[in-house]
Structure formats: C-alpha cells, structure tokens
Chain A
C-alpha cells in the first residue's frame, strides 16, 4: 500500500513554522529537496522528513527583471542557484546583495550561503543570503 502525503502543502506549512525540510532516503541516504515521494538516486520509496542544515554554495546567479503579471509584485532581485550541503541544488531569491554589484558577486562565486525563509504574497519560500 502506498501511503501518500500532501508533500507540497506540508513543505510550505513547515516553512510557516520556520523550518526548511526535505526528505532523506532511508535506503541510500540521498536527499530529495524539495520533497518528492520517490528517491531519484536509488528509486527507494521509504523517505523520512528531516530538517535541512540550511547551508550551501552559490554556483551562479541572475537578476530577475523580466516581470510577468505575477512576478511584477516581487520586483527586481537576484536569483541564485545553490548546491545545498546535503547534495540537491535549488533556485531561489538571493537576498540582501546590492543589485549594482554584479561584478563583486561574480568574483565571489562559488560563495558560501545560508538558507533563509522569505515572505511572498500569501506564502513563504526558501531564500539565500551570503555568509559574511
């Protein structure tokens, strides 16, 4: 019997509680972040919720300025592509870095980041901040 869970809602609910959660495969130890019910490393289906360490490396970035009718609410901002310490990569907003200093950000790649939680219109989502 498959025991399905409402993974998407659970992940967002954890963010509301201030927790950045992922799934860890009990068979091979790989992480699925954000959560999906089958391990993409070993095909295992026995995964447990774990809190992520909240650290990673910024591999690349861009600046969001192509605004569709929804994104326009959130304005110009960096997005960063981060390799999490646990393995998975993720794409999200890079907070608190001067939009006029792209050269400096480029020089700092790959940069250590901390994961954070950012408020959007009606929900929270993962974000990144550079470690000083």
Chain B
C-alpha cells in the first residue's frame, strides 16, 4: 500500500507545474552558460583532437607530433604548452605549503590534525610525481580557467539550483494538505499521519529525478558538445593547474587521484547528497512548524546566520570558531570550488567535506525521524 501511495503522491506532485518549469528553466540556463563558456572555444576542441591521437601525457613523441601539425594559431599555443610543462613538485613539499600558509595566516589550530593532514598530502604529491600526472596536457595554459568555469561557476550553479529545489519541494509537500484543508480528512483515514512518511519518500524521489534531469542534462551537454575531452581525461594535478590562493601560487592537489571527469562525477554525487540533506532538514522543520512561511523564514535566517558567523569569526581571527562554522551543509555547498582539495585552510582534516556530509546525513535522519514523531503527536488544528 505504501508503494502505491508514494506513486500516487509523485503523480500528484507532478501536477504542481511550477516545479516542472523550474527544472526545465534551470537546465536551459545551464546549457546556455555551458554553451557560451565552453562550446565556442576552439582551443579545448583542438586539444581534444590532439590528445585523442597522441595521448594526454606529454612525451617526446607527442611533442614531435605537436610540432608536425599544420600551422595555426592553436598550434602555436599547443607547442608552447608542450614545451613549458615542468614538474612543479620538484621544489614544493606539503610541509612547505603548510608552513607558508600558516606563516601568513595566524592560526589557532589543532597542530596535530594539521600535520596529519599535510603528511597525507605528501603521499599524494609523491604519487603525482611517480605516476607522471603532472605531465598531463589537460587544457594546457587554459587549465585553471576551465577548472574555474566548470567548478567555481557552472557546478556551483547546478548545486544552488538543486538545493533550492530540494528545500522547495520538501516544504511544498509537507504543507500541501494543510494548505488544501485536506490534512484532517486524511489524518483520520487508516493511513492517517503516515501520509507524511510517504510525502517524504515521494518528494525525495522527485529530488532524485530532478537532480538526474538538471545535473545529468548539464553533464551530458558538457560531455557531448563542449569538447572538454582532454580536460576531462587528464589528471587535475597537472603541472598546468596552478592555483593562486590568497597567499601564493600552489600546484593543485586533491586527496585522491582525480581526472577532470572523476571530479565532475564526484561533484555531482556530493551535490546530490547535499540536496538530500537540505530536503530532509526542510521537511523535518515543516513537520514541526505550523506554517510554510515560518519554515521558509527559519531556513533563510539560518543560512544568513551561518554566513554571518563565518564572516565574523574570520574577521576576528577566531579560527577555532571559524572552523566550527564551516561544519555545516550550507558552507560546504558554498565552498564547492574547494571540494576534494586539501590545499585550503578551511579544512582541518583530509576529506573534510565528505565527513561533513556524513555527519549531516546522520543529523538529517535523526531530524526527520523526530520530526515525524512530533507530527504524530501534534494537534492538527489548522
């Protein structure tokens, strides 16, 4: 019976045209942005063709192949890229990164945790050198720009879209029967207040479907029409990928070997996990509170407060508190461009964003279960 109810509820929710329009509009916007950012660029396409024939690792053979190409503007850039690559890790160790960063930013930190983190980073740096990942061509001198456009802009936008959808559909579903005054007739049926369980499941399935639609659609468009093959197949820790953090230029390093494609996929996955967290928290709040406006305001002011807290703590050099203030899904989503990198000072421990998500998945489950329990014991009085 529950399965049937969930299906009926999904069909019912699909009648709320606003959410359909929203999803379509999001996908169109993403495609448009991907189009103007990537699809019209000639150099990535040129590299895609080149690496398809000559591999993504720069070798003497590929340099020779590059030189023998027909003369063109792109060829000149390519050849200069092929020659300019060097091993950025020859002089830089993880310890260096840590000491330079910590010299410049006065920190009250857990010294031991930080050392552990950067020791782990050194393992990864050794691996980059052994596997010659730094010799990957990727997008050559454009690598950092492409990375920023893809992860700091497009993927963050997709994340924002999914998170808004997840919260919106949760609040909509939880309050729908109250709004339609059907809550009381339904609560007095055999299914009774279990209706909120099916509502939770149905809206979560819709979050999943919409994520597939928006993020999957954007992803497909990127893969098929944007000629990022070379970037997607190369390691992100290529020698071309230098980050200019606020402190100094640092070669990019992630905590596991990541090609552009892996990073894209993991971003999509983590984005979905965040969506589930946002959905669950919004639903749980809706079960406790008595009006959708109240729930919206609670969510909105919580987000504002979290940003404000992070800002105030960073301004007042209260780094322990600052560290705490990034341990939530809102800041995790906001810091998406830092995901899977261990170079930043926002994370104390390796894989921090993953740990944050695991912790918050647990918090979310607890919140939803207690929310349901509260709803089961609530006077339905609207």
A joins B in a complex: no
Q: List residues of chain B with CB under 8 Å of any chain A CB.
A: none
Q: List residues of chain A with CB under 8 Å of any chain B CB.
A: none
